[in-house]
Every structure is written in structure tokens, then in C-alpha cells.
């Protein structure tokens, strides 16, 4: 590097410009989500559709449910089916073929930031 | 250090938007202000660079002392997190960036007003927007702005410390355009360093009983957060921080520096240092006017100027000697001096008609004359 140079030689960006396309869903604080686990892809597809089923990567699928990695996973849906937000999610599956499920909780971060932004 | 007036580029809004800055106007007033710029001599930049490096070194000494002393109550951090913070310091968890706010008029030594060491803002403006402004408006001139390439270097250093196949997640309050712009820029430089990055809103971070997770349930192994540590520590998931495997950027120990309580601690450790201002945990240590700062205030929030007889508040505040910002064309100017990794890397200037810089203070570019 030129010892006299005080600025970056080049400032190229690659991913900017898509930022405004990010949509932030509303997540109730402490919302619990569930994903169904399936022994095979066919069962998952019968409950959902092919593009909603995925095989977890190594290290994933190790959640609070009874079954670990290696199983096919359906889409995320609200555990509490009475929530208004649950009306537009994929739900618990058409036929109930899941061999288990895993749960996660969201909304445990972000409360302070949103509250301060709301008043600021 | 001089302020020069000039005509903005006719299509400046479109130009900065193309660079990812669509938060260039607040309340109908430009936030990106190219109706003026500042000209510095090389010697002035040398002074700022040296002061920044010196102050960063002092801050690291202060962290060492706080951690070894084992008493983080002075910085208003709950005791349950003390050991966890200390461990992050002893592991040398990476600190990627920070920004000193300096009072500097081109002659007297720069004075540290505070260190935004956790979630510094105005990054895209300093690293990218003013660089491209210089290319077009002052071609052939230099600028104190190595921020972009130093950030890429730091992300390469992060890559060397982790499994390079891990995805790096970037989070913040992403429905805020300024935060989203900063987070997206940081993801960009991370990807240029050869790591895969993905954004998710702070409220979308999940917890599955063992790991923080993304929306697909994948464990988050590295999380860049543009979300202050003191907010995270006060929220529902805070206890999970102590047991998670996630590496956070900025590292937990950085919260010791972004906290205004570091100001009196620095003054205790280095009294009379030419780049520090007298600061205290007691208002009574100042007989005349001074500045009161909330320990966890940000972007001017919780800062107030106290006259000689004003008592001020007692709760979670510190007091600092008054050091008026220099005034150019009726505007108070503050220098934001960037530290990337452990190096001084560039500056950005904010202006305001009021003596306290806030989040709508105008960002003005600079060059070396």
C-alpha cells in the first residue's frame, strides 16, 4: 500500500440495492413456532408441498423436539393456532403425518429497539 | 481545518441512493449534506489519526483494568453478565469497529467526547458515500478514509478464526432504513472477504433451547448485531446469551467502551491526558457548567448542558467538562473518527446548528487540501 495514501483504493459494493426488498414480519413477543419432522420426503410433501420441505443441514434440527437432524422438515408455523398471525402461515400439515416436531421461540430480542424507535 | 461551501451535485439523491443510502433526507432536510465540505491539511489528519490510536489504546487498558478488577457495577452492567463479558475479553473476541466522537478545531489537541464502540452509525456515509463524492467532486485529492478496505481486512481476520463455511448473520431493527443500510453494507464487506452473509431482523432471531437460530431453524454461529448490548441484556432472551455458542460481533467486552461510564474511568486512570476531558461520577466535582450524559444514552439522547447552578440528575449519569464544539458558518462540527480492528481508519464530520449532535445532524464530506 502506498504509505502516503489515506483512502481506500477502491470502494466497490456487491449486494447493496436489495435492502429495501426485505420485509419484516410482525412477531409477537415470545412467539413459539413449530416445524414438523418427517422420516421421509414423501410424507412431508403429502402434508405440505415439495418446495416447503427441506432436509436440515448438519448441525440443524437439534431443537426442543424429540427428533434430531437427518429428518425432513416442514415449514415453520405458529404453535398457538388461535393467534391472528397463524391464519396466514402454512399450518400443522394437511394429513398429520409428522413423526415429531421441533419448537423455537422468537421475539425475545428487539423489544427495546422497537419501543425506542416508536417514540423517537 | 476549513469549511468550504459548494453547489451540490444536481442529482446527488439518485447518486447516493445507488450506493445504498436511501436515508439521505430526514424531515425534508438533507442528512447527507454536500452543500459544504471540510478541507484538512495532512498535518491535521496526522493529529486526528494519532489521537484516535492513542485513545483506543487507553480504552483497551481501561477494559483490562475493569475486567481484572471484576467490578462492572461501575458501568451499570448486571452482575450475571460480568464473567461472560470478562471471558469474551480474555478470548480476544474480535472488535470490528468503533467511532470516537472528537472535538477538534484544527489547532488544540482533539478531545474525546465519547466512544461509540458497539453500534456506531454513519458508517456507510463515511466509508462509501463520501469516498464516491470525492472521486467526482474533488478528483485527484485524498481523504482520510481507509474504512472500506480495513473492514474487508477485518472480516478476513474473522474468517480465519471461524469455520469459513459458517454463514454470518446480520441483524438490527431492519425496518429502520438507516439501520438496514448499515447492516447491508456490513454484509457486503463481509461477503467481499469471502464469507456468506444473511440479514434477519432482531425480532426474528429464535431460540431452540440450545442455539440462537435463523428463520429456517439453523443455528446462528456468528451474529453481527447493530443493536446495542445494553438493550439485549435487558430483553427476554438475555439469559440465553450466557449459554449460547454464538459468536457476537461486536464482542460483549465492547459494551464496556460504548458505555459513558468509561469516561470518568479513563480520567481516573489517565488524569490530565491531552485527548481526554475531565469526567466524574459526581456532579459536585464540577463547580461550573458541564455536560451531563446518560450512561446508556446514544445519538445525543440523554446529553444536556448544565449551567453552573444546575444540579442535574443522579440516576445512571456521568458528568464531563464542557468542551464546546468548533463552529463553522454557524454550525457546530464534530469529528467521528473511525477505528477498524485496532487501527485509526478514517473520519466523518457531522454538523448541527445546536451544540449537541443528534441523529439528524448533517453528515458533511471532507478532503485533504
Q: pLDDT tens, A102-116?
A: 899 999 999 999 887
Closest residue in A to B23 (Cα–Cα)? A20
**Quick check: A55 contacting B, CB < 8 Å?**
no
Is A64 close to B45, i.e. CB distance below 8 A?
no
User: Is residue A120 very low, low, confident or very high in pLDDT (cuts 50, 70, 90)?
Assistant: very low
**Which residues on B lie below 8 Å from A114 (Cβ)?**
173, 203
pLDDT value of position A89: 92
Closest residue in A to B174 (Cα–Cα)? A24
pTM assigned to the model? 0.91
Distance CA B152, CA B275 (A): 29
pLDDT value of position A117: 67
Q: For an interface test with B, give the residue of A2, A5, A8, A119 to mutate (most B CBs within 10 A).
A: A8
Q: pLDDT tens, A7-39?
A: 999 999 986 544 544 555 566 667 899 999 999
pLDDT value of position A31: 85
Distance CA B203, CA A117 (A): 14
Is B199 close to A22, i.e. CB distance below 8 A?
yes
Q: Report residue B242 as a C-alpha cell.
A: 450466557
**Which residues on B lie below 8 Å from A29 (Cβ)?**
236
**Which residues on B lie below 8 Å from A60 (Cβ)?**
216-219
Q: pLDDT tens, B307-346?
A: 988 888 778 899 999 999 999 999 999 999 999 999 999 9
**Quick check: B85 contacting A, CB < 8 Å?**
no
Is B208 close to A62, i.e. CB distance below 8 A?
yes
pLDDT value of position B110: 98
**Which residues on A lie below 8 Å from B197 (Cβ)?**
15
Is B191 close to A12, i.e. CB distance below 8 A?
no
pLDDT value of position A22: 54
Is A112 close to B127, i.e. CB distance below 8 A?
no
Query: Can you tell me whether residue B267 is helix, strand or coil?
Result: helix
**Quick check: B209 contacting A, CB < 8 Å?**
yes
Whether the CB-CB separation of A48 and A97 falls below 8 Å is answered with: no
CA atoms within 13 A on the CB side of B183: 28
The whole-angstrom distance between residue A14's C-alpha and the CA centroid of its chain comes to 25
Closest residue in A to B16 (Cα–Cα)? A17
Is B207 close to A105, i.e. CB distance below 8 A?
yes
pLDDT value of position B312: 80
How far, CA to CA in Å, does B164 sit from each of A120, B129, B149, B193, B218?
39, 30, 20, 10, 16
Of A11, A15, A63, the CB nearest to B184: A15
Q: Report residue A76 as a C-alpha cell.
A: 415453520
User: Is residue A118 very low, low, confident or very high in pLDDT (cuts 50, 70, 90)?
Assistant: low
User: Is residue A65 very low, low, confident or very high in pLDDT (cuts 50, 70, 90)?
Assistant: very low
Is A5 close to B142, i.e. CB distance below 8 A?
yes
Is B180 close to A16, i.e. CB distance below 8 A?
no
**Quick check: A117 contacting B, CB < 8 Å?**
yes
pLDDT of A63 over the 70 cut: no
**Quick check: B216 contacting A, CB < 8 Å?**
yes
Is B236 close to A30, i.e. CB distance below 8 A?
yes
Query: Can you tell me whether residue B146 is helix, strand or coil?
Result: coil
- If one compares A83 and B101, the residue with the highest pLDDT of the two is B101
pLDDT value of position B70: 82
pLDDT value of position B61: 97
Query: Can you tell me whether residue B305 is helix, strand or coil?
Result: strand
**Quick check: B185 contacting A, CB < 8 Å?**
yes
**Which residues on B lie below 8 Å from A18 (Cβ)?**
184
Is B148 close to A5, i.e. CB distance below 8 A?
no
Place of cell 450512561: B295
Which backbone phi and psi does A93 adopt, to 5 degrees?
105, 145
CA atoms within 13 A on the CB side of B68: 6
**Quick check: B181 contacting A, CB < 8 Å?**
yes
Closest residue in B to A110 (Cα–Cα)? B203
**Which residues on A lie below 8 Å from B39 (Cβ)?**
none
pLDDT beneath 50: ranges in chain B: none
CA of B102, closest CA in chain A: separation in Å?
A: 19
Residue B3: beta bridge partners?
A: B38
**Which residues on B lie below 8 Å from A75 (Cβ)?**
none
Residue B136's CB: how many other CB atoms inside 10 A?
11
Of A9, A56, A63, the CB nearest to B149: A9
Place of cell 440528575: B313
Residues 71-100 of A with CB under 8 A from B: 73, 76
Rg (CA), chain A: 21
Q: Report residue A27 as a C-alpha cell.
A: 412477531
CA of B284, closest CA in chain A: separation in Å?
A: 31
Amino acid at each position: 500500500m502506498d504509505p502516503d495514501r489515506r483512502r481506500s483504493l477502491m470502494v466497490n459494493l456487491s449486494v447493496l440495492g436489495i435492502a429495501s426488498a426485505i420485509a419484516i414480519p410482525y412477531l409477537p413477543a415470545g412467539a413459539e413456532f413449530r416445524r414438523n419432522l418427517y422420516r421421509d420426503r414423501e410424507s412431508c410433501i403429502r402434508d405440505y408441498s415439495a418446495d416447503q420441505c427441506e432436509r436440515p443441514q448438519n448441525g440443524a434440527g437439534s431443537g426442543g423436539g424429540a427428533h434430531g437432524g437427518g429428518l425432513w422438515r416442514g415449514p415453520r408455523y405458529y404453535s398457538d393456532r388461535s393467534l391472528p398471525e397463524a391464519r396466514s402461515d402454512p399450518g400443522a400439515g394437511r394429513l398429520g403425518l409428522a413423526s415429531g416436531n421441533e419448537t423455537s421461540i422468537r421475539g425475545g430480542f428487539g423489544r427495546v429497539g422497537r419501543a425506542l424507535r416508536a417514540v423517537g | 481545518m476549513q469549511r468550504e461551501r459548494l453547489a451540490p451535485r444536481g442529482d446527488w439523491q439518485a447518486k447516493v441512493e445507488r450506493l445504498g443510502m436511501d436515508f439521505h433526507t430526514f424531515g425534508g432536510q438533507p442528512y447527507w449534506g454536500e452543500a459544504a465540505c471540510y478541507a484538512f491539511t495532512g498535518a491535521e489528519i496526522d493529529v486526528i489519526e494519532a489521537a484516535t490510536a492513542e485513545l483506543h489504546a487507553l480504552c483497551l487498558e481501561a477494559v483490562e483494568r475493569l475486567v481484572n478488577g471484576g467490578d462492572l457495577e461501575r458501568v451499570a452492567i448486571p452482575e450475571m453478565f460480568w464473567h461472560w463479558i470478562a471471558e469474551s475479553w480474555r478470548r480476544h473476541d474480535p472488535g470490528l469497529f468503533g467511532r470516537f466522537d472528537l472535538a477538534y478545531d484544527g489547532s488544540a489537541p482533539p478531545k474525546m467526547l465519547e466512544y461509540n464502540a458497539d453500534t456506531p452509525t454513519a458508517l456507510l456515509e463515511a466509508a462509501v458515500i463520501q469516498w464516491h463524492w470525492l472521486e467526482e467532486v474533488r478528483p485527484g485529492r485524498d481523504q482520510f478514509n481507509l474504512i472500506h478496505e480495513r473492514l474487508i481486512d477485518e472480516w478476513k481476520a474473522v474468517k480465519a478464526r471461524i469455520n469459513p463455511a459458517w454463514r454470518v448473520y446480520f441483524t438490527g431493527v431492519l425496518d429502520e432504513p438507516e439501520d438496514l443500510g448499515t447492516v447491508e453494507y456490513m454484509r457486503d464487506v463481509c461477503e467481499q472477504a469471502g464469507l456468506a452473509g444473511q440479514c434477519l431482523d432482531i425480532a426474528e432471531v429464535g431460540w431452540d433451547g440450545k442455539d440462537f437460530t435463523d428463520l429456517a431453524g439453523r443455528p446462528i454461529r456468528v451474529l453481527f448485531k447493530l443493536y446495542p448490548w445494553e438493550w439485549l441484556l435487558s430483553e427476554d432472551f438475555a439469559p440465553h446469551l450466557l449459554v449460547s455458542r454464538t459468536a457476537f460481533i461486536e464482542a460483549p467486552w465492547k459494551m464496556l467502551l460504548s458505555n459513558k461510564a468509561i469516561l470518568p474511568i479513563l480520567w481516573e486512570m489517565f488524569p490530565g491526558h491531552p485527548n481526554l476531558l475531565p469526567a466524574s461520577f459526581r456532579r459536585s466535582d464540577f463547580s461550573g457548567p458541564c455536560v451531563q450524559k446518560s450512561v446508556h444514552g446514544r445519538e445525543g439522547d440523554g446529553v444536556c448542558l448544565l449551567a453552573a447552578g444546575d444540579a442535574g440528575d443522579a440516576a445512571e449519569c456521568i458528568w464531563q467538562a464542557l468542551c464546546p464544539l468548533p463552529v463553522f458558518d454557524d454550525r457546530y462540527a464534530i469529528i467521528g473518527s473511525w477505528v477498524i480492528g485496532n487501527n485509526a481508519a478514517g473520519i466523518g464530520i457531522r454538523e448541527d446548528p445546536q451544540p449537541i449532535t443528534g441523529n439528524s445532524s448533517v453528515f458533511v464530506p471532507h478532503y485533504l487540501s
